[in-house]
Amino acid sequence: MRANLKMHQKLLIGAATALTMFLLLAVAVWAYDEAQKDQIAPGVTVGGVDIGGRDVDSARKIIKNEIVNPLKEPVVVHYAGEDHTLTPKRIDHTSDVEGMLDEAVEMSREGGLIERVSRYASGSAVNEDIDPRVGYSDEALDKFVGDLAAKINRDAVNASLEPNGDRLSPQPGQKGFELQEDQTRDLIVDQLESPGGDGPVDAVVNKTTPEITQDELAEAYPRYLVVDRGGFQLRFYRNLKLTQKYTIAVGAVGYDTPSGLYDIQTKEVNPTWNVPESDWTGDLAGQSIPPGPSNPLKARWMGIYDGAGIHGTDDTGSLGTAASHGCIRMSIPDVIELFDKIDVGDPVYIQ
């Protein structure tokens, strides 16, 4: 009986001892886990910067020095030897350091108590990378890219023709440039969100081709008119080759025929004369004169620009002089011949 009692007491003591040791161990494990709550697990990085194996305060310093401070640097976009700078102030750049630290701690403390303590004890790595928590104004970024496009973009220039005496001299076209805004914006965003960056961003720009190249000029301009005001001559070119010269009259002083590149806008047989409001037209101003003896626009009309055009005249004595209200006068046989050679849209270069 006494022996059984002693055995029972020993079992109770042993159980109590075991329970006490278990409780002590549990408390120790809990205490150890609590001691690690401000520790970043090995393998945790932010934007590729290692902050693992450190406490929160140390990790904070690393994030500020190696992530936040570099992100405060301006982003430079480079193109054609020029730099275009986007400053943090302009884009309202911000960084959430505490948010990055909280995420690092949360990753470090994933799993149950035993799992965490075992990981702490063995020094196992978590191997997780946290995206840098940065903020900026999308509107400001879009405006920067838009301003950049306005500086870079240039329309392609078609090849053209330049009258030179009796010749049409081909002038080469020029390629245009077009900023690829979405691609360039993505590169800027990478720089904004990557600590330190990799130096200037190269703007993504495509070259654009003219619609008309120098080799396509003859096809683009099968017919071409040149009005030589000083020489009182109209020259007609077919496939860039001079085929005919006509003597003309041009605008009188104060009613000059306008210079520049125009095109044939209208064609009309035996036109009505809509008399312009002008001292030059006297009492006829504002009237519409039908075809006939009192209409100075004889046989044919080829409108060029704002009331000015090419027409026939029976005042052949005025040819070779500056005598009209701004129109180009031709003899009636010449204007009929030219009328049949040209089409609406054909260019007219007045020099």
Residue 25 lies in a domain: yes
Within 79-199, where are the H helices?
A: 88-91, 97-108, 113-122, 138-152, 181-193
Q: Is the pLDDT of residue 10 over 70?
A: no
CA separation for the pair 18, 11 (Å, rounded): 10
Residue 115 lies in a domain: yes
pLDDT at 234: 98
Q: Is the pLDDT of residue 33 over 70?
A: no
How large a percentage of the chain has pLDDT more than 90? 57
On average, the pLDDT of the chain sits at 86
Looking at 184, 217, 250, the residue that finishes a domain is: 217
Residues 12 and 54 in one domain: yes
Residue 83 lies in a domain: no
Q: Is the pLDDT of residue 131 over 70?
A: yes
Residues 124 and 103 in one domain: yes
- Report the pLDDT averaged over residues 158-177: 93
Residues 225 and 307 in one domain: yes
Residues 345 and 235 in one domain: yes
pLDDT at 117: 60
Q: Is the pLDDT of residue 296 over 80?
A: yes
Q: How far apart are the first and last CA of the chain?
A: 137
Q: Domain residues for 172?
A: 138-217
Residue 209 lies in a domain: yes
CA separation for the pair 155, 243 (Å, rounded): 34
CATH code at position 333: 2.40.440.10
Residue 85 lies in a domain: no
- Report the pLDDT averaged over residues 87-102: 89
pLDDT at 29: 47
Residue 112 lies in a domain: yes
CA separation for the pair 155, 175 (Å, rounded): 8
Looking at 161, 191, 217, the residue that finishes a domain is: 217
Residue 305 lies in a domain: yes
Residue 193 lies in a domain: yes
